């Protein structure tokens, strides 16, 4: 009964974005408007890189495409390829 109850609670929390799962219900994350928490859901993007993305965006403006993330320190081709292949991001 406990497992059922906890599963139900997790389902409800994830439905409203409180369980740390994908907040956007499988919709791609807009890298030009997403906050740090949302950006850190992208493959190989943790809190530190998400903070760098937000900082870069505030200093230089919006990204024209996903590949522009390579302009952010610490994000290279490998990470960009993971993000592109996941189809979890958009501009």
Q: Return the H-helix or E-strand segment holding 30.
A: strand 29-30
Per-residue pLDDT at 29: 97
Cα(63)–Cα(44) distance, integer angstroms = 18
Nearest in space to 91 (alpha carbons), one of 43, 30, 42, 39: 30
Segments making up each domain of the chain, as ranges: 25-90
Per-residue pLDDT at 25: 63
Distance spanning both ends of the chain, measured CA to CA: 44
Inter-residue contact 90 to 31 (CB < 8 Å): yes
Q: How confident is the model at residue 18 (pLDDT cuts 50, 70, 90)?
A: very low
Q: Which CATH number is 25-90 given? A: 1.10.150.280
Per-residue pLDDT at 1: 57
Q: How confident is the model at residue 36 (pLDDT cuts 50, 70, 90)?
A: very high
Inter-residue contact 24 to 30 (CB < 8 Å): no
């Amino acid at each position: 009964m406990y497992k059922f109850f906890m599963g139900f609670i997790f389902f409800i929390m994830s439905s409203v974005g409180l369980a740390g799962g994908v907040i956007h219900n499988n919709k791609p994350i807009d890298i030009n408007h997403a906050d740090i928490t949302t950006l850190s859901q992208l493959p190989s993007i943790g809190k530190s890189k998400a903070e760098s993305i937000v900082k870069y965006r505030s200093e230089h403006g919006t990204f024209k495409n996903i590949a522009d993330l390579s302009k952010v320190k610490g994000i290279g081709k490998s990470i960009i390829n993971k993000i592109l292949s996941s189809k979890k991001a958009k501009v």
